[in-house]
Structure 1
Amino acid sequence: MSFIRRVGYALSGIRSAFRHERNLQIQAVIGLCVIIIAIMIHVSLTHFMIILILVAGVISLELINTAIERAVDLISTELHPLARAAKDIAAGAVLWFSIFSAIIGFMIIFTTLQ
């Protein structure tokens, strides 16, 4: 399989997730707002790169969470404690990274504004 085809499949997966996952849409909008604010207040290049990494990390974790949720739904149609735990743990990873990303983002923004 060609590299171009594999990239196409990956982009298709990203498009599908953005179309169907409300949390991913919300996180993308928040991430875009943070990036715009960072540009408007002229954060340093280093801080801007950190913000980009944090936004990309949250989006990436949400994509992984979505993949885990769909795989679990495919494997187990009934409610099972392990299926629920897998979904909850994946969602917890997104939440954990999002909280610390927000803290770091606020620190960067407030430091820049001083």
Structure 2
Amino acid sequence: MSSVWNDNKKGIGFSHAWAGIRQTLKTEMNFRFHLAAGCIVIFSGFLFKVTRFEWMALILSIGLVLASEIINTAIEKMVDYIKPDIHPSAKAIKDMAAGMVMISAATAAIIGLIVFVPRIGVLLQ
């Protein structure tokens, strides 16, 4: 019996991970938005010559937001699979997962402000 789970033995599961990322890219507008924002932050980091420590904070923030988006998507799809009809508990679970993304995005935005506002202020003087 063939299984969807065991269709590819090579790559230590990387092919499944990339498939999950591609699926999220194709279906989730918020993931694409956060990915684009992350690319802008990376470009800005090069433009403003951020320090090594600032790079670590920025990259960690971008990764946190993107990972949160994928976890949120997986939770939403699982809830829809298990409980396709509207239910207060299903709504609460989905809302909590969305809250996780909001907290990670807000944290990333604050880190971005801490890193870039002083540099932009210097340009405006």
Aligning the two structures, in what range does the TM-score lie when normalised by the shorter sequence? over 0.9
Classify the secondary structure of the residue corresponding to 2:75: helix
Give TM-score scaled by structure 2 length.
0.86
Pick from 23, 47, 55: which aligns with 1:40? 47
Residue type of the partner of 1:32?
A: C
Mapped partners of 1:98, 1:77: distance in 2 = 28
Q: Which residue of 2 aligns with 1:72?
A: 79
Classify the secondary structure of the residue corresponding to 1:52: helix
Give TM-score scaled by structure 1 length.
0.94
1:58 aligns with 2:77: no
Mapped partners of 2:49, 2:119: distance in 1 = 8
Over the residues paired in the alignment, what is the CA RMSD in angstroms? 1.4
Which piece of structure 1 moves more, 1-10 or 92-101?
1-10
Tell me, which stretches of 5 or more residues in structure 2 are unaligned?
1-5
Return the offset for 1:97: 1.1
Classify the secondary structure of the residue corresponding to 1:79: coil
Considering only CA atoms, is the larger Rg found in Structure 1 or Structure 2?
2
Aligned length: 114
Mapped partners of 1:100, 1:52: distance in 2 = 13
Instruction: Give me the identity figure in percent.
Output: 32
1:85 aligns with 2:92: yes
1:14 aligns with 2:25: no
CA spacing shift, 1:45–1:3, aligned 2, 3 Å: farther
Tell me, which stretches of 5 or more residues in structure 1 are unaligned?
none
